[in-house]
Amino acid sequence: MTLKEIQPIYERIIQSLDQRELKAAFDSLQRLIAQSHHYIFQDELMELQETYKQMLHYYIVGSTDPMRQKILTELMASVYEITDKVTQKMMLIDSPEMFFSIRRISTLHPENIVHLTNTIRGAYDIQNITLAESLLARLFKAIWTSSFLQDDEVNSLLQSLLSGEELSDDKTQAGYLTIVNCQIVTALILGLEAFFDKRKMLLLIHAAGVADEDVKIRAYTGILITLYRYKNRIDYYPDIKYRIDTLSEQAEFNKIISLTILRFILSRDTEKITSKMKDELLPEMMKLNPKLNPKATSKAEPLEFVDFEMNPEWMEKFEKSPLGKKIEEFSKLQEEGADVMLFSFVNLKHFPFFNEIHHWFMPFRSEVSFLSEGNTLNKTLKIMTQVGLMCNSDLYSFFFSLKMMNDEGRLPMIEQLESQLSEWKQQKSADLQTRDDKTERLIGHFIQDMYRFYKLFPLRKEFRDIFTQTFDFHNLPFLQRYYSDKNDLLHIADYYMSKSYFIDALTIYQRLSGEFEADEMIFQKKGYCRQMTGEYKNALADYTKAELINPDSKWLLQRMAQCFRALKKPKKALEYYLRLEKMEPDNLSCLFSIGSCYLDLKNYPNAMNYYFKVDYINHDSGKAWRPIAWCSFLSGKYEQARNYYQLILSSNPGYQDYSNAGHTEWALHQLNNALDFYIKSVQAAKGDFDTFHQEFVKDIPELIAAGIDMADIPLLLDKVHYSVE
């Protein structure tokens, strides 16, 4: 059986098990074993089938069996596991993927996880760092690619994870152990991503309970990812549930879960932020130098020692410029925790260091051998680590980039960086950072490390990209038993909504609506999410419930009116806008919308009255000129329409403006002027006659109402077409 044939059968079995269709799973698994020729699993499979048949028999005859659920739970877990074992055996033969290549080598030269763990700790004890790090690379791969951990391996790894509690006074040894345990936890996470192993999951839960926060954060993140990956399987492991029950009793459980969920939500925007920086921020920055220094030439000239103090007026203009606004936008995103650094480091992962899989997750600490060397970079790197601007992966990229520079270029840069970073560090200290800030930063950095691995690792195509998933952790049935506090859920829903993930937010609001029946805000938010996804009828249903509680909400009246307009019910929308006008008589948006409703209802005099009011209050904006001009045309006031189109055409007109001006001239029997404007309309549409024609056809009823002979319309259109060819 080829590799391409194995995966679909495996997925079919898993799907059958996820749907609890055991008979179908047994049949597919039987075929898989027959094709694999690994008949050592045949007896186990037959025993499982026989157990299931007996259970079904006793169920049908009505026999009461208090052990039925326990038997079924163990049966389901066993079938999942035998499916994984058979599949791994088959993939091991021919798969070229690194995961199986490493395992094939280990069958010839077995790695002893217990021995490796003990030897690494011993090497650190005698300060043989080089040996420890080379063994750590082997340990990482051994844990990652291990099939199912054995009891002695679990005990050895558990001993390492718990040893940190004894080293609080020895910072160097504690630092070494942090590196080891972070690598152990990350290897467990990657291993679980490949295939489920109950013992690996239990080790992650153990790691989530240690005092070392670097290790703990990684473990929590891994637990969430694994729960999501195996959401249909995890209920069949009661000992995992029991251990998470115990973990959930810790005071920080909900806090870490909440922060991790929020960070995963933020990670959804990483690609969008990176594209925006590349397409918008970078081009503006490249234009910056010529604008600030128009006398600059291509020749390098020596700098004179003069006063370079900037004029405050320049800074004010810069802050209001497109570049200034973009920089401010990205600064706010960075403060919020968004990943704005990927853009800077996406091309700095080519160093040989990143060819090793475990290096993508290596904590950036002074205990790492090449970072502990005495060099001018140490102080800078220490400050950068403390400030917390970059994740571990990016700090390594930065380190290797600086090392490539010669001293002449490196030293001035380091001095400037140290000055800026020290100032930033003092500012953050003045803000009285709390422990929560560190926790949130560690969560963000580890998720960013993972993001870079799944997006930039040279062999990334061999891995299932976890960041293509929605990660709606709040919907996991297994997690809901622990994480169901309504305030925490509301916080996540509001965060989803602030990021425009309206469907995700709506699922939480719907779940909570029963608990907040008298809370208008919940109904408002549900309605808003539905409105933003185009569910206008359902949005109105929610808004109506909110209106019963608070009929005088200006925001609500405006939103309901918008929904009615979207549903092509201008008369109903007008009722709400008129109610809003009584509360805010000078609200330009409301006045403009009232005019638009009257326009939809073909009540042109009333529409113009409101548009004129908008124009009177805010004439310079020109916002009302177009609807006034169009209403004037529809009302037969062609001279008035002409005057307004002259204003419009003098200030950034579009192709429709030229077309409408042409309609007006035609109604005034000025055919040459009309032809000229129609030609300009095509030109404004980038020479696309079809675009012009499609819009023109929509206006034919209005042209006929203005007295234009239907027979003349094709003639003029053909003349325009000839003129623009």
Query: Does residue 698 surpass a pLDDT of 80?
Result: yes
Q: Which residues of 627-638 are buried (b: 16+ CB within 10 A; e: fewer)?
A: bbbbbbbbeebb
Phi-psi region of 508 (alpha: psi -120 to 50; beta: other; left: phi over 0): alpha
Q: Is 424 exposed, middle or buried (0-12, 13-18, 19+ CB in 10 A)?
A: middle
Query: Does residue 170 surpass a pLDDT of 60?
Result: yes
Q: Which tops the pLDDT comparison, 486 or 523?
A: 523
Residues 276 and 281: their CA atoms lie apart, in Å, by 7
Tell me, what amino acid is at 553? S
Query: Does residue 70 surpass a pLDDT of 90?
Result: yes
Tell me, what amino acid is at 543? Y
**Residue that the structure tokens 């504690």 belong to:** 174
What's residue 393's pLDDT?
A: 95
- Mean pLDDT, the chain, whole residue set: 87
Query: DSSP code of 310?
Result: P
What's residue 310's pLDDT?
A: 43
What's residue 426's pLDDT?
A: 62
User: pLDDT band at residue 418, thresholds of 50, 70 and 90?
Assistant: low
Query: Does residue 461 surpass a pLDDT of 70?
Result: yes
Residues 221 and 159: their CA atoms lie apart, in Å, by 21
Residues 76 and 567: their CA atoms lie apart, in Å, by 50
Per residue in 488-506, pLDDT (tens digit) is 888 999 999 999 999 999 9
pTM: 0.85
What's residue 300's pLDDT?
A: 36
- Residue 200 phi/psi, 5° resolution? -65, -40
Q: What angle do CA 38, 42, 45 make, to 5 degrees?
A: 130
User: pLDDT band at residue 687, thresholds of 50, 70 and 90?
Assistant: very high
Lowest mean pLDDT among 4-8, 111-115, 533-537, 627-631: 4-8
What's residue 72's pLDDT?
A: 94
Per residue in 504-521, pLDDT (tens digit) is 999 999 988 776 666 889
Mean pLDDT of 228-238: 95
Tell me, what amino acid is at 519? D
Per residue in 210-225, pLDDT (tens digit) is 999 999 999 999 999 9
What's residue 316's pLDDT?
A: 55
Per residue in 306-360, pLDDT (tens digit) is 333 444 554 455 455 565 666 666 667 777 778 888 988 999 999 999 999 999 9
Radius of gyration of the chain (CA): 34
Lowest mean pLDDT among 173-187, 437-451, 476-490, 559-573: 476-490
Q: Which residues of 102-123 are buried (b: 16+ CB within 10 A; e: fewer)?
A: bbeebeeeebebeebbebbbeb
Query: Does residue 207 surpass a pLDDT of 80?
Result: yes
**Residue that the structure tokens 């003990």 belong to:** 118
Q: Which tops the pLDDT comparison, 665 or 434?
A: 665
**If DSSP codes are grouped into helix, strand and coil, which group holds residue 338?**
coil
What's residue 302's pLDDT?
A: 35
- Alpha helical stretches, state H, 321-406: 322-336, 342-345, 377-387, 392-404
Domains of the chain as residue ranges with CATH: 3-95 (no CATH), 552-621 (1.25.40.10), 624-725 (1.25.40.10)
Residues 454 and 466: their CA atoms lie apart, in Å, by 7
Structure tokens at 538: 């359902």
Q: Which residues of 8-18 are buried (b: 16+ CB within 10 A; e: fewer)?
A: ebbebbbebbe
**If DSSP codes are grouped into helix, strand and coil, which group holds residue 242?**
helix
Q: Write out the DSSP string of 2-64.
A: -HHHHHHHHHHHHHHHHTT-HHHHHHHHHHHHHHHT-GGGHHHHHHHHHHHHHHHHHHHTT--
